[in-house]
């Protein structure tokens, strides 16, 4: 009888440990994942991408949709999966329970449990869009409807959340002053959202990028502080907490903002973080060395045993998704937008990283020495990227640039830049002219991926190209 009792206890213990190993509460489960964005026309297949993630020892993968093929390919892997209700489907799901039930049937039940879906994220940075505030009020009802559908199928290990950006804070420094934006309604939106997360024991998912905070204030924030290099400390004058890195400051500002509304126990998860491995000349600190330093130190910190947490939440574990798996060449905006990847489009690592935290500091010595950790000073032109020869795309970009008054005046037959008469030469001039005139209005040297910045003056003969001077 005694032996039988011992055997039962052993079986129960093993079963309990097995359960914990696949739960978010158990530290043996790898806390580090990757964001699998697909805004590129040169990316590896979905099968190859999943193999890359497995080789990198990722513990999680976050999708920006619920792609059927990817979810099928993830079946049988040990990757914990986060899927997303895209922003354009939130109102439909919020409108009635039947729509939410259908979404869950199509995107969860068709794959679960063989595909280890662990998070359903409703929308992406919804509260950052101030132009469509009607969507704000559909957010929590959509989350509730998805949760109700999941519960009806007795699925208890999937958490429902929504990724929000740091711009939802009115103040974030010092961390103890953290407060949500005043234009976000407290009683009708913020409190219902936090109450839902608290009730369901879910996470407050935050997109947090020390790179942006540092690069916008490099004179007041140390680069080492942003890169976890521990050469600087900051003591919050109100809380007394001591900070050794910028990420902890940013995370704690969110915690203080929640506490000001009466929520003290909602866990944090990092939906996106990372550092750009490259960018334009006018974007400081975007280089491989800094990206490798940030992500390696991030992984080492978040996978430490016992967990470190943050000063406001010591010892807490923080599920984290690094942005992103690949450089994505079709993303709009400044050059950094296309250079957050851990991998090149051919699948080769941009720098060595082990998502379990096992990597030597000596590896950093093999990386290129950064040359853009300070502001760029000089002249910049915007010209056609190498090997771009698609005349249809070039023609459309040229037409777009030349629609603005005066941009292409020098390309007229009687003007100095008419020769040579080629679409490439004319595009080079049009790109530089357009960017030089409208950069101050937020325009970038991109043109749907056709253009890049250069320090080489493309002027020829009497044709002088406009430029940006920094």
Asked if CATH classification 3.20.20.80 holds for the domain at 32-363, the reply, yes or no, is yes
Bridge-based pairing of strands 163-165 and 159-161 is unpaired
pLDDT digits (tens, 9 = 90+) for 21-45: 334 544 434 789 999 999 998 999 9
The catalytic site residues sit at: 125, 272
Give the pLDDT confidence score for residue 399 in this predicted structure: 93
- The Cα 113–Cα 75 span in angstroms is 8
> pLDDT tens, position by position, for the chain (470 residues)?
444 444 444 444 434 333 443 345 444 347 899 999 999 989 999 999 999 999 999 999 999 999 999 999 999 999 999 999 999 999 999 999 999 999 999 999 999 999 999 999 999 999 999 988 999 999 999 999 999 999 999 999 999 999 999 999 999 999 999 999 999 999 999 999 999 999 999 999 999 999 999 999 998 999 999 999 977 899 999 999 999 999 999 999 999 999 999 999 999 999 999 999 999 988 999 999 999 999 999 999 999 989 999 999 999 999 999 999 999 998 988 889 999 999 998 899 999 888 887 655 656 667 888 889 988 889 999 999 876 667 888 899 999 999 988 899 999 999 999 999 999 999 999 999 999 999 999 899 989 888 999 999 999 999 999 999 98
Residues 470, 287: Cα–Cα separation, whole Å: 19
What is the pLDDT at residue 1? 46
Q: Are 124 and 64 in contact (CB under 8 A)?
A: yes
Residue intervals in the chain for CATH 3.20.20.80: 32-363
Task: Give the separation between CA 443 and CA 438, rounded to whole angstroms.
Answer: 6
What does pTM read for this prediction?
0.88
346, 44 Cβ separation under 8 angstroms: yes
Q: How far apart are CA 72 and CA 427, in angstroms?
A: 44
Among residues 138, 175, 336, the alpha carbon closest in space to that of 251 is found at 175
pLDDT single digits (tens) 114-166 = 999 999 999 999 999 998 899 999 999 999 999 999 999 999 999 999 999 99
Distance, first Cα to last Cα, the chain = 83
């Amino acid at each position: 009888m005694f032996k039988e009792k011992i055997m039962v206890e052993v079986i129960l213990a093993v079963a309990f440990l097995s359960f914990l190993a696949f739960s978010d509460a158990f530290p043996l489960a790898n806390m580090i994942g990757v964001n699998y964005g697909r805004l590129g026309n040169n990316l590896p297949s979905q099968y190859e991408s999943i193999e890359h993630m497995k080789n990198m020892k990722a513990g999680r993968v976050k999708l920006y949709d619920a792609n059927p093929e990817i979810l099928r390919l993830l079946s049988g892997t040990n990757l914990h999966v986060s899927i997303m209700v895209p922003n354009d489907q939130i109102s439909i799901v919020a409108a009635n329970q039947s729509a939410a039930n259908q979404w869950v049937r199509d995107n969860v039940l068709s794959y679960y449990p063989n595909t280890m879906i662990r998070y359903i994220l409703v929308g992406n940075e919804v509260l950052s869009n101030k132009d469509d505030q009607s969507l704000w009020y559909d957010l929590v009802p959509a989350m509730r409807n998805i949760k109700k559908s999941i519960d009806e199928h007795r699925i208890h290990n999937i958490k429902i959340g929504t990724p929000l950006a740091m711009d939802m804070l009115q103040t974030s420094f010092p961390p103890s002053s953290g407060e949500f934006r005043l234009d976000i309604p407290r009683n009708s939106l913020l409190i219902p959202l936090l109450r839902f997360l608290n009730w369901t024991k879910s996470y407050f998912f935050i997109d947090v990028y020390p790179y942006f905070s540092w690069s916008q204030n490099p004179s007041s924030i140390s680069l080492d502080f942003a890169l976890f290099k521990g050469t600087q400390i900051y003591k919050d004058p109100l809380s007394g907490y001591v900070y050794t890195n910028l990420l902890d400051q940013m995370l704690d500002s969110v915690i203080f903002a929640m506490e000001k509304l009466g929520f003290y126990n909602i866990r944090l998860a990092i939906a996106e973080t990372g550092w750009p491995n490259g960018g334009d000349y006018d974007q400081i600190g975007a280089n491989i060395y800094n990206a490798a330093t940030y992500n390696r130190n991030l992984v080492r910190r978040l996978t430490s045993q016992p967990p470190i947490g943050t000063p406001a939440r010591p010892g807490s574990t923080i599920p984290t998704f690094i942005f992103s798996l690949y450089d994505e060449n079709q993303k709009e905006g400044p050059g950094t937008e296309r250079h957050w990847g851990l991998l090149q489009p051919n699948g080769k690592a941009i720098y060595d990283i082990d998502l379990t935290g096992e990597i030597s500091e000596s590896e950093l010595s093999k990386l290129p020495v950064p040359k853009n950790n300070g502001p760029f000073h000089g002249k910049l032109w915007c010209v056609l990227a190498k090997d771009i020869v698609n005349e249809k795309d070039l023609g459309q970009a040229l037409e777009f640039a030349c629609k603005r008054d005066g941009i292409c005046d020098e390309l007229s037959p009687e003007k100095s830049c008419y020769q040579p008469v080629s679409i490439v030469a004319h595009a080079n001039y049009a790109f530089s002219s357009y960017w030089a005139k409208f950069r101050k209005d937020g325009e970038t040297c991109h043109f749907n991926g056709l253009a890049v910045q250069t320090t080489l003056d493309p002027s020829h003969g009497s044709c002088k190209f406009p430029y940006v001077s920094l």
